[in-house]
Amino acid sequence: MLLSSLFHYSIPPGLALIFICSFLTPSMSYAEGLSLESLSMRARFSETTLLGKDAPESFKEYDVSANFKLPWKNYSTSNWGIGTRLMASTGILRGDEENTLVASLIPELTLESVDGRYTLDLGIGGALLSRHRFGTQDFGGPFQFALTSGFSVPLYKKLRIGYRFMHYSDAGVNGSDTTGADLHMIEFIYGF
C-alpha cells in the first residue's frame, strides 16, 4: 500500500526504494569490520556448461575484483578456518561480437589457512548486465543471480593464482526460455 501510494505521486522507484530501505536499516553499523583483503584480475579460459541449459552463444569475460573481509571468522588450532568475505567485481562480458558491462556483488563463505594464502570459497549474490541479449541467447533481464566457487594457492610472495567458476542465471524468473552462462576463469590475486 505504501509503495503503491509513493509511485502514485511520481516518485522515482529508485528513490522510493532508498527511502524505504533507510527505515529498515539498523541504526548500529559495523563498517569497521570491512577491510580490503585482495585484488584480482580474471579471464575466462573455458565455458563448459555445469549448471542449466547449454548456452547457444559463446562468451568471454574479463574482470577485476576486490575481496573484502567481513567480521565473522573462526579458526581452529590446525590454523585453518571458516570466514566470510564480500566479492565485488566489474568487467566485460563478450558474446556474439557484442560487449556488455557486468558488475557483481557476492557474499562468500571461505575455508582458508590462517595466513590467507590457501583459500576455498563459495558464494551466491547478484550481478547486473548492461545488455542481456546476445544473438540467439537471452539472459532474461539485466539482473542475474551469480553463483561462484573458487580456490587459490600461493604463486610468489603476496601473489596467488586461482581458479574461479562463475554462473549467471535469472533462475527462470523471466521465463523458461532464458539461458545463463557458465564461465571457468583463471585468477591472479594480490593479497594485502
Angle at 31 between CA 187 and CA 12, to 5 degrees: 90
**CA gap 184, 148 in Å, rounded:** 10
H-helix or E-strand spanning residue 3: helix 2-8
Q: Write down the pTM of the prediction.
A: 0.78
Angle at 102 between CA 99 and CA 108, to 5 degrees: 150
For the chain, 192 residues long, the average pLDDT of each consecutive 10-residue run is: 45 56 50 80 86 81 95 85 95 90 96 90 96 88 95 95 95 84 95 90
Length of the chain (residues)? 192
94, three cell numbers:
563478450
Around Cβ 43, how many Cβ atoms within 10 Å? 15
- What's the pLDDT at 126? 96
Identify residue 90 by its one-letter amino acid code.
T
End-to-end CA distance of the chain: 48
- What's the pLDDT at 29? 45
E strands of the chain, at which residues? 35-46, 59-75, 80-95, 98-113, 119-129, 133-134, 137-138, 143-156, 159-169, 181-191
